[in-house]
C-alpha cells in the first residue's frame, strides 16, 4: 500500500523499525540505574526532568503526564523518598503544594544528562553532511509530531 507521499507502508515500517533498533541498541537505562542506585521508571524520570523547568503542582504534573492526581502523588512520593524532590507550600494557595527539585534532584538530572545524552560512537563516525541531513530529518519529525500528536502513546 502507498501513502499520500508516494512512500510504501513497508518503507515507513522499515524506517521506524530501524530507528527503534538503533535507539534500543544504545539504551542506557541500566547504566543510569547503576550510577544512581535506583531506576527512574514508572514516570519518575519524566516528572523529575519536567521539574527542571521549575516547581509544579501535583495537578499540573498529573495533567502533563496524562495520569490522575493519586498516581502523580505516588510518583512524587517515590521521588521524595529518594530525596530528589520536596513539597513546599504554594505561595498563592496554602491548600496546594508545589513540588520542587532538591539539590540531590539537580545532581541526579546532571548525572542522567551526562549518561543519556552521550552520543553513541556510530553517530560520531558520520560525515558532516550525513549528520546535518540526519539532524534535519529528525527535527522535521519532531516538529510534525508536536504539530499533530495524533496517536502518540497508542
Q: For the segment 59-113, what is each residue's pLDDT rounded down to a tens digit?
A: 999 999 999 999 999 999 999 999 999 999 988 888 888 999 999 999 999 999 9
Q: Which residues contact 65 (CB under 8 A, 6 or more apart)?
A: 43, 46, 47, 50, 72
Distance CA(133)–CA(87), nearest Å, equals: 44
Closest to 48 measured CA to CA, from 23, 69, 24, 72? 72
- For 61, the 3-state DSSP assignment is helix
For residues 43 and 84, membership in a common domain is answered with yes
- For 38, the 3-state DSSP assignment is coil
State the pLDDT confidence band at 54, using cuts at 50, 70 and 90: very high
For residues 102 and 30, membership in a common domain is answered with yes
**Could you read off the pLDDT of 6-50 as tens digits, one per residue?**
678 899 999 999 999 999 999 998 999 999 988 888 789 999 999
State the pLDDT confidence band at 154, using cuts at 50, 70 and 90: very low
Range of the domain at 74: 25-116
Amino acid at each position: 500500500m502507498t501513502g499520500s507521499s508516494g512512500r510504501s507502508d513497508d518503507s515507513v515500517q522499515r524506517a521506524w523499525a530501524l530507528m527503534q533498533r538503533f535507539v534500543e541498541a544504545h539504551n542506557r537505562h541500566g547504566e543510569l540505574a547503576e550510577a544512581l542506585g535506583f531506576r527512574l521508571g514508572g514516570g519518575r524520570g519524566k516528572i523529575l526532568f519536567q521539574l527542571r523547568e521549575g516547581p509544579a503542582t501535583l495537578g499540573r504534573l498529573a495533567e502533563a503526564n496524562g495520569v490522575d492526581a493519586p498516581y502523580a502523588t505516588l510518583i512524587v512520593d517515590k521521588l521524595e523518598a529518594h530525596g530528589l524532590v520536596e513539597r513546599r507550600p504554594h505561595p498563592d494557595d496554602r491548600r496546594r503544594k508545589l513540588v520542587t527539585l532538591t539539590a540531590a534532584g539537580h545532581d541526579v538530572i546532571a548525572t542522567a544528562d551526562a549518561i543519556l545524552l552521550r552520543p553513541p560512537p556510530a553517530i560520531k563516525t558520520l560525515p558532516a553532511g550525513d549528520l546535518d541531513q540526519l539532524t534535519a530529518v529528525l527535527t522535521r519529525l519532531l516538529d510534525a509530531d508536536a504539530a499533530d500528536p495524533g496517536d502518540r502513546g497508542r
